[in-house]
Amino acid sequence: MNTTAMHLKKSFLCRSILFVPASRPDRYQKAFTSGADIACVDLEDAVAPKFKNAARQNVAEFFPPPDTQSSLRALRINQLSSEAGLRDVLLLLGQGPKPDIVILPKVESAEEITWFNDLMAPVEQSIGLLPLVESAKGLQNSLDIASSDNVLAIGFGFADFCAEVGADISWESLRYARGRILQAAAYANIDAVDGPYLDLEDLEGLLQETQNVAALGFRGKIVLHPRQIDPVHQGLSPTEETVQRARKIVQAFKENPSGVVVVDGRMVDLPVVERARKLVTLVDRQ
* DSSP string for 193-219: EE---S-TT-HHHHHHHHHHHHHHT--
pLDDT above 70 coverage of the chain, percent: 88
Q: 232 and 269: one domain?
A: no
**Predicted local distance difference test score (pLDDT) of residue 70:** 64
Mean pLDDT of the chain, nearest integer: 88
Q: Does the pLDDT of residue 259 top 70, yes or no?
A: no
Q: Does the pLDDT of residue 7 top 60, yes or no?
A: no
**Predicted local distance difference test score (pLDDT) of residue 65:** 61
**Predicted local distance difference test score (pLDDT) of residue 257:** 74
**Predicted local distance difference test score (pLDDT) of residue 52:** 96
**Predicted local distance difference test score (pLDDT) of residue 240:** 66
Predicted confidence band of residue 180 (pLDDT cuts 50, 70, 90): very high
Q: 88 and 22: one domain?
A: yes
Predicted confidence band of residue 277 (pLDDT cuts 50, 70, 90): confident
Domain count, the chain: 2
Q: Does the pLDDT of residue 270 top 80, yes or no?
A: no
Q: 220 and 265: one domain?
A: no
Q: 17 and 127: one domain?
A: yes
Q: 16 and 142: one domain?
A: yes
Q: Does the pLDDT of residue 10 top 60, yes or no?
A: no
Query: Alpha carbon 252 to chain centroid distance?
Result: 33
Predicted confidence band of residue 6 (pLDDT cuts 50, 70, 90): low
Q: Does the pLDDT of residue 155 top 70, yes or no?
A: yes
Which of 200, 220, 236 marks a domain boundary? 236
**Residue 267, domain extent:** 240-285
Q: 32 and 78: one domain?
A: yes
Q: 270 and 134: one domain?
A: no
Mean pLDDT score, 214-229: 96
Mean pLDDT score, 22-49: 93
Predicted confidence band of residue 66 (pLDDT cuts 50, 70, 90): low
Q: 79 and 144: one domain?
A: yes
**Predicted local distance difference test score (pLDDT) of residue 69:** 52
Predicted confidence band of residue 12 (pLDDT cuts 50, 70, 90): confident
**Predicted local distance difference test score (pLDDT) of residue 76:** 97
Q: Looking at residue 151, what DSSP letter applies?
A: B
* Positions marked catalytic: 269
**Predicted local distance difference test score (pLDDT) of residue 48:** 95
Q: 244 and 189: one domain?
A: no
**What are the two backbone dihedrals, phi and then psi, of residue 139, each rounded to the nearest 5 degrees?**
-65, -40
Q: 178 and 152: one domain?
A: yes
Q: Does the pLDDT of residue 8 top 70, yes or no?
A: no
Q: 186 and 114: one domain?
A: yes
pLDDT above 90 coverage of the chain, percent: 67
H-only helix segments in the chain: 3-10, 28-32, 52-60, 83-94, 110-120, 136-140, 142-146, 158-165, 171-188, 203-216, 229-236, 240-255, 270-285
**The dihedral sign for the CA sequence 237, 200, 50, 65:** negative
236-249 pLDDT, tens digit per residue, is: 987 667 767 767 67
CA distance 249 to 10: 23
Q: Which distant-in-sequence residues (6+ apart) come within 8 Å of 116 by Cβ?
A: 80, 89, 102, 104, 129
Q: Does the pLDDT of residue 1 top 70, yes or no?
A: no
Q: Does the pLDDT of residue 251 top 80, yes or no?
A: no
CA distance 32 to 64: 10
43-57 pLDDT, tens digit per residue, is: 999 999 999 999 999
CATH number for position 52: 3.20.20.60
Determine how many CB atoms are found less than 10 A away from the CB of residue 208.
Answer: 14
**Predicted local distance difference test score (pLDDT) of residue 37:** 95
Q: Which distant-in-sequence residues (6+ apart) come within 8 Å of 112 by Cβ?
A: 80, 81, 104, 131
Mean pLDDT score, 268-279: 75
Predicted confidence band of residue 9 (pLDDT cuts 50, 70, 90): low
**Nearest CA to 268 among 282, 253, 278, 283?**
253
Q: 87 and 208: one domain?
A: yes
